[in-house]
Amino acid sequence: MTKIAMWSGPRNLSTAMMYAFGARADCAVWDEPFYAPYLAETGLDHPMRSDILAAHESDAKIVARRCAGSPPDGKEHWYMKHMPHHMLDGFDLTWAEGCVNMHLIRHPARVIASYLAKRDMPSLLDIGYPQQWALYQRLPGPIFDSTDIRANPEAMLRMICAAAGLPFDAAMLSWPAGPRAQDGIWAKHWYGAVHRSTGISDPEGPLPDLPKEYHGLLTEALEYYEQMRSLKHTR
């Protein structure tokens, strides 16, 4: 059994990666298990907050126990999509010691532009760069840049599988369009593009131009991104 904890901030190709692993017949997936506990603990007003709290387990202790358990549905492996900023002080992380921890990053200009299309006025903590860098210190593991994955999906998925100790499965390269049963209820707000996709997207174009009021946020996030990018997995 292999349990992968893939850590990333929002808008980092994380859902497409979950779909790629979900396309494997031998792998269960879990979409942001700690999102509801994060909202319950912080009281933050995110899109679909009430729906999320109604539909998903909001007790962090219960979620942590489930993360420490066996893959559901009799599957051999388990891919869990996690966001570092959801892991608040006091949330149990010992379950992650039994996982292959990996980290997914993306240039913050792309993250901010994508986030702005769905929610106004993100802060540095909303997009998760300092939290991911801090969590990497506790749970180090291979770092993968979404730009590299989109540039060469098969080669990078092979690399990710090798880093997890799994054989590559060509089924990971494509999936039917539309939502998945494993999607969090928040998919209605956030997952429009990936629901239209049938595989990992084409290579990314030039970096987007951000409104001037987000240049400071970009500068702050770049410091963390560059530190992680310098450590990315290359073989």
Q: Give Rg (Cα) of the chain.
A: 17
In a domain, 234, yes or no: no
27-31 and 143-145 beta bridge pairing? unpaired
Q: CATH number of the domain that 185 lies in?
A: 3.40.50.300
Residue 182 lies in a domain: yes
186-235 per-position pLDDT tens digit: 999 999 999 999 999 899 999 999 999 999 999 999 999 999 999 999 87
Give a yes or no: residue 25 inside a domain. yes
Question: Span 121-128, mean pLDDT?
Answer: 92
Is pLDDT at 170 greater than 80 in this prediction?
Answer: yes
| DSSP code at position 204 | P
In-domain check, residue 192: yes
Q: Is the model's pLDDT at 120 over the cut of 90?
A: no
Q: Answer yes or no: are the C-beta atoms of 106 and 146 closer than 8 Å.
A: yes
Q: Is residue 216 part of a domain?
A: yes
Q: According to the model, what pLDDT value does residue 234 have? A: 85
Residue 92 belongs to a domain = yes
Give the whole-number percent of the chain exceeding pLDDT 70: 100
- Note the pLDDT of residue 33: 98
Strands (E), 72-126: 77-82, 100-105
Longest CA span, the chain: 50
Evaluate whether residue 168 is within a structural domain.
yes
In a domain, 183, yes or no: yes
**The one-letter amino acid at 180:** R
* Full residue range of the structural domain in which residue 12 is found: 2-229
The tally of domains found in the chain comes to 1
